[in-house]
């Protein structure tokens, strides 16, 4: 079985400061990891993914994430947050060993609030 944990319900950060959103995962096989963002009344938008290769992946809007296999983590980061980054962020995992159809398991989400 696969699972995803986002330990923080909300992250508050001042504009211009670094932003980190935490995610840990559990899968029995090899993970594919994703970050999505959701703005009010809109669907989920893809930010970035880790499949294989470099542990640091870069995505849209200046976001990046670091895959850490030993800590089973995939934290989302942005060096300098913007007010427009305020949104709901979801981490998701797909177990590539047991699931060939792409079903995603999502975390509960982390609300990011960036204050001016």
Residue ranges that bind other proteins, judged by CB under 8 A: 4, 32, 34, 36, 41-46, 49, 51, 90, 92, 94, 101-109
Give the shortest CB-91-to-other proteins separation in angstroms: 8
Give the shortest CB-90-to-other proteins separation in angstroms: 5
Pick the closer one to other proteins by CB: 36 or 78. Answer: 36
Beta bridge partners of 67: 74
Site of tokens 């999505």: 36
3-state helix, strand, coil in the chain (%, to 5): 5, 50, 45
Pick the closer one to other proteins by CB: 23 or 81. Answer: 23
Give the shortest CB-6-to-other proteins separation in angstroms: 8
Q: Are 25 and 3 in contact (CB under 8 A)?
A: yes
Pick the closer one to other proteins by CB: 55 or 80. Answer: 55
Measure Cα distances from 116 to 11, 24, 111 in Å.
14, 29, 16
Tokens matching residue 34: 């994703």
Pick the closer one to other proteins by CB: 78 or 109. Answer: 109
Tokens matching residue 59: 């995505």
Give the shortest CB-106-to-other proteins separation in angstroms: 3
């Amino acid at each position: 079985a696969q699972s995803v944990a986002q330990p923080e319900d909300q992250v508050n950060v001042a504009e211009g400061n670094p932003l980190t959103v935490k995610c840990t995962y559990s899968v029995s096989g090899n993970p594919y990891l994703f970050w999505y963002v959701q703005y009010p009344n809109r669907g989920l938008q893809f930010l970035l993914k880790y499949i294989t290769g470099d542990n640091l992946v870069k995505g849209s809007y200046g976001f990046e994430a670091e895959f850490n296999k030993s800590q089973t983590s995939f934290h989302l980061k942005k060096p300098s947050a913007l007010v427009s980054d305020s949104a709901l962020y979801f981490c998701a995992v797909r177990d590539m060993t047991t699931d060939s159809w792409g079903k995603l398991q999502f975390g509960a989400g982390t609300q990011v609030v960036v204050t001016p």
